[in-house]
Structure 1
Amino acid sequence: MMDLSTTSVLAAKAYKYKAESLVKEYLLADSYVSYTAVLGGILMCKMAYDITSLISSLYYKGYGSLTKIQKLEWNNRGMSTVHAIFITVMSVYLVFFSNLFSDQLDGPVTFRSSNLSNFTLGVSVGYFITDLAMIFWAYPSLGGMEYVLHHMLSLISIFYAMYSGEGQLYTYMVLISETTTPGINLRWFLDTAGMKKSKAYLVNGVAMFVAWLVARIILFVYLFYHIYFHYDQVKQMHTFSCILIFAVPTILLVMNTMWFAKILRGLKKTLAKRQ
């Protein structure tokens, strides 16, 4: 007869096998990987929010004196920074370094997708769901209707690109604009911490100006340039995909230009005060 230790080992192996089978056959199966990523994105947001709160309470003395809503926004910005870093790295890789959207491959670039691209979009969907829920819950403390519009457009576009597999290249080009988010959040952190007159605040303003110009203005112009030269492939997509491809970047470009004007005015004021 088997002893207790042998029985325990066999039971542990059986549970491990069942867990691995569950992950492979369901969570990471081609048909489920995107939805697993959405749950993973929501979990990532929760972890980033809690870790931001923990680190801030340990290493920033002023954190304890913040109001309840300031702490909420502080942690929320930590969460959005983590997402921004993740999605920027993945978007730059998929657009410029992987061969997924290469013109040298056969077939239209507008119908290209992979498990990795779908997984990445799923994580971003999870983030936008979480952030949008927080915006509504604390409205308008975390942002007004312009933030709601931005998040709704982003969520619909990303989810549809993930679901349909169409237009993912242009979705990732737009998502590269998230590279400006860490700078925006850092500026808010410095302002809240009473460091508006610091050198770091000035450097941040200049860096944010450059990043915004490149990622949210010039890159969008390149996106429309790419659409123009691949229009024969773009028009093969479903009608709703075409509407998203043209409408969403256009609306976001208008919003980005308006915000860019505010950034420029703010930078001018900061530089004028230091002369």
Structure 2
Amino acid sequence: MAFKSYQNQAKVLVKDYLLADPFIPYTSILGGLFACKMVYDLIQLISAFSCKSYTSLTKMQRIEWNNRGISSVHAIFIASMSLYFVFGSDLFSDQHLDGLITFRSSPLSTFTLGVSVGYFLADLGMICWLYPSLGGLEYIIHHSLSGIAVAYAMFTGEGQLYTFMVLISEVTTPEINMRWYLDMAGLKRSNAYLINGVVIFFAWLVARILLFIYLFYHVHLHYDQVTKMHTFGFLLVFSVPSALATMNLMWFGKIIKGLRKTLAKRQ
């Protein structure tokens, strides 16, 4: 009886407070921060016991190893949810007549964005604290722009569709991290390293080049709805994807050069 009473109280706490609409942004951010810490510790523990190359790394390399694990887990989560909301759910469908596309949201979509905000805060904090070991200025700009845009969409409910479109690009993160892991494991000349480079090329082309073209085309088709957003949200819809698209093109150039160099060494 006592256990059932505690169980009922826990359900009431979750339903009426933690997952109540006004509290979802805050609980999801805290959840994202907690998940980052938990994943970091788990990767550190598992790697220490199961990966020989991990123990031979320097302290900073081990920190980056764990940090990249967090970013991979977040990328899989947010890319999967973003694909669902953009292409699998009818929340942002043109056939859905419940309000303008630019103002649609749901408790689940808001919670998902909150978890992502928690990740960006945690990762940005680590990058700044250990600067420039975990990334240079471009990473700070990328995370800051992404975090601001995601947080705005989460708190206001505006432009969530375009936020999820941009977040689909996180699908390339696990491949980038895997390339670093292979390098640290001394497998830079392996077939796995070559295959990884090819996968990165095509994933980047689709998720960070073609997808952004589709995003701008979608904005063009729904421009009358975009103009009804608040000024700051309107500016974010154009400025953040434009800045990220520019950075994506710059990085894509480096990816092409790296792939060419790898293929040349194989000939």
Q: Which amino acid aligns with 2:10?
A: A
Q: Which amino acid aligns with 1:243?
A: L
1:1-275 equivalences in 2 (<5 Å): 9-10=1-2, 12-106=3-97, 107-275=99-267
Q: Which runs of 5+ in 2 are unaligned?
A: none
Q: Which amino acid aligns with 2:184?
A: T
Q: Which amino acid aligns with 2:243?
A: I
Q: Distance in 1 between matches of 2:66 and 2:4?
A: 40
CA displacement, residues 186-208 of structure 1 (integer Å, 9 cap, x when unaligned): 00000111110000000000000
Q: Which residue of structure 2 lines up, in the alignment, with residue 4 of structure 1?
A: none
Deviation at 1:245, TM superposition (A): 0.2
Q: Which amino acid aligns with 2:132?
A: P
Q: Distance in 2 between matches of 1:74 and 1:247?
A: 32
The two structures, once aligned, show a CA RMSD in angstroms of: 0.9
Q: Which runs of 5+ in 1 are unaligned?
A: 1-8
Deviation at 1:16, TM superposition (A): 2.9
- What is the DSSP-based 3-state SS (H/G/I as helix, E as strand, rest coil) of the residue aligned with 1:32? helix
- What is the DSSP-based 3-state SS (H/G/I as helix, E as strand, rest coil) of the residue aligned with 1:166? coil
Q: Which amino acid aligns with 1:161?
A: A
Deviation at 1:48, TM superposition (A): 1.1
Q: Distance in 2 between matches of 1:209 and 1:185?
A: 14
- What is the DSSP-based 3-state SS (H/G/I as helix, E as strand, rest coil) of the residue aligned with 2:192? helix
CA displacement, residues 209-255 of structure 1 (integer Å, 9 cap, x when unaligned): 00000000000000000000100000000000010000000000000
Contact 2:53 2:184 in 1 (8 A): no
- What is the DSSP-based 3-state SS (H/G/I as helix, E as strand, rest coil) of the residue aligned with 2:22? coil
Q: Distance in 2 between matches of 1:223 and 1:62?
A: 41
Q: Distance in 2 between matches of 1:126 and 1:75?
A: 17
**TM superposition outliers: structure 1 runs of 4+ over 4 Å:** none
Deviation at 1:109, TM superposition (A): 0.6
- What is the DSSP-based 3-state SS (H/G/I as helix, E as strand, rest coil) of the residue aligned with 1:195? coil
Q: Which amino acid aligns with 2:230?
A: H
| TM-score, normalised relative to structure 1 | 0.95
Q: Distance in 2 between matches of 1:198 and 1:45?
A: 31
> Which has the larger displacement, 167-176 or 41-50?
41-50
Q: Distance in 2 between matches of 1:57 and 1:15?
A: 38
CA displacement, residues 100-149 of structure 1 (integer Å, 9 cap, x when unaligned): 00001122110110011001000000000000011011110000110000
**Higher Rg:** 1
Q: Distance in 1 between matches of 2:33 and 2:230?
A: 29
> Which has the larger displacement, 171-180 or 102-111?
102-111
| TM-score, normalised relative to structure 2 | 0.98
CA displacement, residues 7-56 of structure 1 (integer Å, 9 cap, x when unaligned): xx43x343333322221111011111121111111111111111111121
Q: Which amino acid aligns with 2:158?
A: E
- What is the DSSP-based 3-state SS (H/G/I as helix, E as strand, rest coil) of the residue aligned with 2:49? helix
